[in-house]
Amino acid sequence: MINVLVAEDHPIVRDVLSRLLEKESDLEVVAMVRSGEKAVNAAIRHHPHVAVLDVFMPEMDGIEAIEEILVQSPQTRVLMLSGFNNNEYIRKSLEAGALGYVLKDFARKDLVLAIHAVYEGHYYFSEQIAEVAKLYMTGGGVDEGSA
């Protein structure tokens, strides 16, 4: 069973994510929170296998939360979830320690595949940003702005 923490500030999106993930027999949502600060606290409390974090949230954004989660719960792997296909957010997420970056226009299957890949220690990126992420990871760098 893969324990998943979901941090998303929009209640409707949070609810949909929870319902989608709970349909999977090998995934268990251990916490649903609305901010980066609450995600850090939930990671300390639950030590999830995977934390799915929105980029923009109140109190502490997802990128700031990555580093703190990895300090407080080093075994937790982080997957970013964003509506923004933006090179700077992708770069900052990877630098902070995220193993994946999935756009919110994903198919359910893609999110589940991403969670499994990240859980296993592999990188996973939405198809639309895979080239940008690959360039960054191989040292090619990316321009600031949209991918």
pLDDT tens-place string over residues 119-132: 999 999 988 777 76
Question: Which domains does the chain possess?
Answer: 2-137 (3.40.50.2300)
Give the Å distances, CA to CA, from 122 to 37, 112, 116.
26, 13, 9
Task: Tell which residue, 3, 39, 41, has the closest CA to residue 21.
Answer: 3
Alpha-carbon torsion, ordered 70, 66, 125, 99, to 10 deg: -20
List the beta bridge partners of residue 127: none
List the beta bridge partners of residue 72: none
Query: pLDDT tens across 64-110, in order?
Result: 999 999 999 999 999 999 988 888 898 899 999 999 999 988 767 78
Its pTM stands at: 0.89
